Chains A and B, each alone.
Chain A
Amino acid sequence: MAAWEIACRQLKVPGYLVPAPSAIWADVTQKYGLIAGHTVATMRTVLLGFAASIIISLPLAVVIVSTPLLANTIYPLLVLTQSIPKVALAPVLVVLLGTNEMPRVVITFLVAFFPLVLAIATGLNGVPAELIELGRVCRAGRWQELVRIRLPYAIPFIFSGLKAAITLSVVGAVVAEFVNADRGLGYLIVTSTAFFQVATAWAALIVLSIIGIVLFQVVVIVERVFFPWALSSSS
């Protein structure tokens, strides 16, 4: 921080290229309400997209693991959704879904869910043969095997997927806001740079990275509190 401040002053970097921290801070205190409002909007999109990723990825992964035949048709479709550039997809989605929050949540979901599906499927499939045998000896049905053995076993994998997904959710939300939004930090960055309010754009950028770090840490803490065994068994 200090180095940044000093570098900006010594080298006389023009404020419209890289503003000094003091300038950004002044901007944040001045436009506090504005930035907070946009932050809330972005958070909403991130969390809705993240929630959608979880709700859809889990059953999808279960289907992929339990019916190999279906998996062969689902995987190419999933890869297809990943190879379409989301920036290009966003305007199409707006036409399809209207100019509300929906297309942004969908974009966020599309960016975030893929690694989560892969991680869950890997975990569900990776259960050692002995544990499956144990389930069979205890006369577990397919459902019991899933709930009592495969899912718990997959927990460490699911959390590494969640960590990737939450980070990507922030990226996805901002991409969506670039294309179509009247609120949100992505929107703020686009509009403020258009009006040469570079300090505001930088402020939004910093808030975004803080959101990313905080949400990531929340996932880490949830894992540590609720699944302490998962940490040491995977390391």
Chain B
Amino acid sequence: MIAFEAAWKVFEARSGELTTAVADISLDIAKNEFVCLVGPSGCGKSTLLRLAAGLLLPDRGSVSIGGERVREPRSDTGIVFQSPTLLPWATILDNVLFPAKMMGVASPEIQERAKALLKLVGLEGLERRFPRELSGGMQQRAGICRALIHNPAVLLMDEPFGALDALTREELTIELLRIWTTQPKTILFVTHSIPEAVMLADRVVVMSAHPGRVAEVLRVDLPRPRSFQMESADEFHRCTQRVRQLIFGDRTLQAA
């Protein structure tokens, strides 16, 4: 569904200095697959997501969705940004409806869908509030609803649970998995949390920094539907250990 073929992205800083954000990324994500992206800060995870979203174009190589080259943002793609990025002048409901309005598909059914999504993430009754009247975690949840409003086939999520407390995080993890099961979509999910990545993903893509490359792609053989009881499974430990090893080298293993 999403295919990176030897994609490179180089940024030029204002000083003229060049940064290779991602180098030679080749990655094939199957239709309705759930892929998590982990790696140290600055390794190019957000850049990879922006390439898939069509917000950036690769300097070399290509990115395509459903066999079509991505040249601009597509209407079948939803994205959750690393920060909530809500419009301060619009109510929570209007923020969630924003993509639908902009794409000209707003309808009473979409309104109902927005309310249902807000209820799903625990924001029921806050539809008329303004973003500044919500906590950071609540804003982030509204941002997730916004990405889901037009039921996109591809969902790109940049640390969507980063600003949430551990409890809400677990709740939303289960909720996201449920949405994904009932409304199948291809998900590319960036996270800093190794257990979260393993819990969610079919495959975990581990990246290394300077420049950002794919270090290894790890298949998670845990059954679905997933639950947090699986955190004690052997497969879960094998996967998290392997990811840690790839990111930190052998340091953590010796300390343990």
Q: A140-B102, A152-B87 are in contact. Are A133 and B132 (CB under 8 A)?
A: no
Interface size on A, residues (CB 8 A): 21
**Inter-chain contacts of A230 with B (CB < 8 A):** 89
B85 and A149 contact, CB distance less than 8 A? no
**Inter-chain contacts of A130 with B (CB < 8 A):** 81, 83, 85
CA distance A153 to B88 in the complex (A): 8
B 78-93 contacts with A by CB, 8 A:
79, 81, 83, 85, 87-89
A133 and B89 contact, CB distance less than 8 A? no
CA distance A148 to B98 in the complex (A): 10
Select B55's contact among A136, A155, A229, A232, beta carbons within 8 Å: A136
CA distance A155 to B53 in the complex (A): 29
CA distance A117 to B98 in the complex (A): 29
**Inter-chain contacts of B98 with A (CB < 8 A):** 134, 138
Interface residues of chain B: helix, strand, loop or mixed (majority):
loop
* A131: interface (CB < 8 Å): yes
**Inter-chain contacts of B89 with A (CB < 8 A):** 152-153, 155, 227, 229-230, 233
CA distance A136 to B50 in the complex (A): 11
Select A139's contact among B79, B83, B87, B102, beta carbons within 8 Å: B102
CA distance A149 to B72 in the complex (A): 19
List 30 A-B pairs, Cβ < 8 Å: A130-B85, A131-B85, A131-B87, A133-B81, A134-B81, A134-B85, A135-B102, A136-B55, A136-B72, A136-B73, A137-B53, A137-B73, A137-B77, A137-B79, A138-B98, A138-B99, A138-B103, A139-B72, A139-B73, A139-B102, A140-B102, A148-B102, A152-B87, A153-B89, A155-B89, A229-B130, A230-B89, A233-B88, A233-B89, A233-B132
The residues of B with any CB-CB pair to A shorter than 8 Å are: 53, 55, 72-73, 75, 77, 79, 81, 83, 85, 87-89, 98-99, 102-103, 130, 132
A 122-175 contacts with B by CB, 8 A:
130-131, 133-140, 144, 148-149, 152-153, 155
**Inter-chain contacts of B72 with A (CB < 8 A):** 136, 139
**Nearest chain B CB to A129 CB, angstrom units:** 10
**Inter-chain contacts of B79 with A (CB < 8 A):** 137
Nearest CB in chain B to that of A233: its residue: B88
